A and B are shown apart, each in its own frame.
Chain A
Amino acid sequence: MDFNQSADENLFDRARIIGKPHTRVDGALKVTGTAPYAYERHDVAENPLVGYPLGSSIAKGRITRMDATAARSAEGVVAVITALDIDELPRPESNVAKLFGGDIVEHYHQAIAVVIAGTLEQARAATRLIEVEYEETPGEFDLDDAWKRLQDRDVVSHVGDVDAAFERADVTLDEIYHTSSQSHAMMEPHATIADWCDGKNLTLWTSNQMIEWSRQGLATIFEMDPEHIRLESPYIGGGFGGKLWVRADAVLAALGSRETGRPVKVALPRPFIFNNATHRSGTVQRLRIAANKDGRITAFDHSAISHTLPGGSGEDAVNQTRCFYAGENRRVAHHAIDMNLPESADMRAPGEATGLAVLEIAMDEMAEKLGMDPVEFRILNDTQVNPEEPEKRYSDRHFVECLQKGAEVFGWSERNKTPGSRREGQWLIGQGMAGAYRGAPTLDSGARVHLQNGRLIVETDMTDIGTGSYTIIAQTAAETMGLEMSDVDVRLGNSAYPSASGSGGQMGAASSTAGVYAACVALQGEIEKRLGIESARFENGRVVAAGTDLALGEVANGEEIVGEDTLHFGDFKDELEIGTFAAHFVEVAVHAYTGETRLRRTLSVCDAGRILNPITARSQVLGGMTMATGAALTESLNIDTARGFFPNHDLAGYEIAVHADIPDQEVIFLDTQDGASAPLKAKGVGELGICGGAAAIANAMYNATGIRLRDYPMTLDRMLDRLPGA
Chain B
Amino acid sequence: MKAFSYERIDDAAQAAARAFEVPGSKFIAGGTNLLDLMKHEIEVPAHLIDINGTGLDDIVETDEGGLRIGALVSNTALGADERIRRDYPVLSRALFSGASSQLRNKASTGGNLLQRTRCPYFYDPAMPCNKREPGAGCAALDDGADTRQLGVIGTSDHCIATHPSDMAVALRVLDAEVETISPEGQTRRLTLDEFYPLPGDTPEVESALEPGEIITGVVLPAPVGGRQRYYKVRDRASYAFALVSVALVETDDGKGRVALGGVAPKPWRRDDADAELGNGAQAVMAKLLDGARPTEENAYKLTLAERTLAALLAKE
Contact = CB atoms under 8 A, between A and B. Distances in A.
B228 to A, nearest CB: 18
Nearest to A643: B139
A124 B120 contact: no
Interface string B124-141: 111100000000000100
B286 interface: no
Contact of A661 (B238, B300, B311): B238
A548 to B, nearest CB: 61
B253 interface: no
Interface stretch (A82-90, A204-212, A317-325, A590-598): A590-598
A75 B3 contact: yes
Most chain A CB neighbours (cut-off 10 Å) among B124, B143, B149: B124
Given A75-B3, A593-B307, A633 B120 contact: no
B144 A641 contact: yes
B239 interface: yes
Contacts of B123: 650, 653
A66 interface: no
B145 interface: yes
Interface in A640-656: 640-643, 647-650, 652-653, 655
A271 B124 contact: yes
A721 B303 contact: yes
B232 to A, nearest CB: 10
B100 to A, nearest CB: 9
Contacts of B237: 598, 658, 660-661
Contacts, number: 117
A723 B306 CA distance: 13
B316 A716 contact: no
B196 interface: no
Contacts of B125: 128
A55 B149 CA distance: 25
Contacts of B231: 594
Contacts of B314: 426, 593, 725-726
| Interface residue SS majority, chain B | loop
A717 interface: yes
B165 to A, nearest CB: 14
A124 B243 CA distance: 33
A192 to B, nearest CB: 21
A647 B237 CA distance: 22
Contacts of B241: 652
B121 A655 contact: no
Nearest to B164: A652
Interface in A426-451: 426
Interface residues of B, number: 41
Nearest to B125: A128
A720 B238 contact: no
Nearest to B244: A594
Interface in A693-726: 713, 715-717, 720-721, 723, 725-726
A725 B120 contact: no
Interface residues of A, number: 48
A634 interface: yes
Contact of B304 (A649, A713, A717): A717
B50 interface: no
A592 B311 CA distance: 9
A639 B316 contact: no
B302 to A, nearest CB: 10
| Interface residue SS majority, chain A | loop
Interface string B92-136: 000000000000000000000000001011011111000000000
Contacts of B143: 641-642
A95 interface: no
A638 interface: yes
Contact of B2 (A125, A592, A593, A658): A125
A640 B240 contact: no
Contacts of A653: 118, 120, 123, 149
Nearest to B299: A717
Contacts of B239: 658, 660
A384 interface: no
Contacts of B148: 638, 717
A220 interface: no
A264 B39 CA distance: 21
Contact of B307 (A633, A647, A720): A720
A720 B304 contact: yes
B233 interface: yes
A57 interface: yes
A423 to B, nearest CB: 9
Contacts of A121: 1
Contacts of A425: 316
Contact of A647 (B121, B234, B240, B316): B121
B142 interface: yes
B61 interface: no
B10 interface: no
A142 B118 CA distance: 25
A107 to B, nearest CB: 13
A668 interface: no
A-B pairs with lowest CB-CB distance, top 9: A57-B126, A641-B144, A642-B144, A660-B238, A593-B311, A717-B300, A660-B237, A647-B120, A638-B146
30 contacts: A121-B1, A124-B1, A125-B1, A125-B41, A426-B311, A593-B307, A593-B310, A594-B233, A594-B308, A596-B233, A640-B139, A640-B146, A641-B143, A642-B139, A643-B144, A647-B124, A647-B146, A648-B146, A649-B120, A652-B118, A653-B123, A655-B240, A658-B239, A660-B238, A661-B236, A716-B300, A717-B148, A717-B300, A720-B300, A721-B303
Given A125-B41, A716-B300, 17 more contacts: A271-B124, A425-B316, A426-B311, A593-B308, A593-B310, A594-B233, A634-B235, A641-B143, A642-B142, A647-B127, A650-B123, A658-B236, A658-B238, A661-B237, A720-B303, A725-B307, A725-B310
Interface of A: 55, 57, 75, 121, 124-125, 128, 141-142, 271, 425-426, 591-596, 598, 633-634, 638-643, 647-650, 652-653, 655, 657-661, 713, 715-717, 720-721, 723, 725-726
